[in-house]
Amino acid sequence: MKLLMLGLASALFVISPQVRASVLLDWASVPPSQKQLEPVTSPPGPNGTYTTGSDFSNVLVTVSGSGFAPEGLHNPKIDDKGSPYSVPALSSAADFKASGSGTPTVTFTIDFFGFKQGVKNVSFDLFNVNGKNEGGLLVEDVVTFQTAGLSLNGGADDVVSGNTVTGIATSGPESTDEPGGDVAVHSGGLPLHQIVFTWTQNDVGSKSGNEAFLSDLAIGNITFTPVPEVGQLVIGLVACLLGALWLHKNRRKRAHSIA
């Protein structure tokens, strides 16, 4: 019986989701030909949709613009480490028009479509969620998460309130990585299949004319732990139990033959 219990405990340890290795979405492995995300709509226009062109560990990242007229979302791209971010990152730039149809918004969707049971312990960083002084006008980045249950930790240049991060100050020019605008995002132990968040801007004051303020937002350091499929858990458990039974039976035979 002790051997059976040991086999059961070993099986649960070996196939337990808690001991599955974490996966890093390695932007550095993307070939140069796929550094620019592929447009889903052609021509993409100011409210285009773009997606990663390859299957990065069964994960698909989609970036789409809406409410822009006529400025809008630029073609998102993957920046190498050091240009300007400290890690390889997926960056998106957008011209938030002073006036247009609706509220100019960029939506980011991270789909873990390749994992039937979902993933957990998701972690990634957002860069450049901050405020900018544009001709005496403070323009604030606003990032809002539609996915519930996430932990958000902001920097010196942004404020977290519930599921929203608002940029309130700037540490440097837009063309550089600004550590004060970084946001660390974490999920818990519950499985999920998708993370969605939007990026808009608040204007503290009034814009003049038809100015468009160019801003940049980037994602990096995406890691997660796949949740094992139920079938794999059952098969692994049964295999370990059968092995334990076989060992127990052989042990009894040897003891009997010796006696």
- Residue 255 — very low, low, confident or very high, per pLDDT cuts 50/70/90? low
Contact call for residues 130 and 169 (beta carbons, < 8 A): yes
pLDDT of residue 190: 93
Q: How deeply is 65 buried, as exposed, middle or buried, from its count of CB atoms within 10 A (0-12, 13-18, 19+)? A: buried
The closest of 57, 62, 67 to 29, measured between CA atoms, is 57
CATH ID of 21-227, from 2.60.120, 1.10.3470, 1.20.1260, 3.40.30: 2.60.120
- The model carries a pTM of 0.79
Q: pLDDT of 16-37, one tens digit each? A: 444 468 999 988 988 888 899 9
Strands 151-153 and 183-186: antiparallel
Which tokens go with 42? 């052609």
- Would you kindly state where each structural domain of the chain is located, as residue ranges? 1-20+228-259, 21-227
**Distant-in-sequence contacts of 144-150, Cβ < 8 A, 24+ apart:** 144/197, 144/198, 144/200, 145/185, 145/195, 145/196, 145/197, 146/196, 146/197, 146/198, 147/187, 147/192, 147/194, 147/195, 147/196, 147/197, 149/187, 149/188, 149/190, 149/192, 150/185, 150/186, 150/187, 150/195
Q: pLDDT of 122-172, one tens digit each? A: 999 999 999 887 767 778 899 999 999 999 999 989 999 999 999 988 765
Q: Annotate 10-38 with b (16+ C-beta within 10 A) or e (fewer).
A: ebeeebebeeeeebebebeebeeeeeebe
Q: How many other β-carbons are positioned within 10 Å of the β-carbon of residue 188?
A: 12
- Residue 6 — very low, low, confident or very high, per pLDDT cuts 50/70/90? very low
Which of residues 241 and 185 earns the better pLDDT score?
185
pLDDT of residue 46: 85
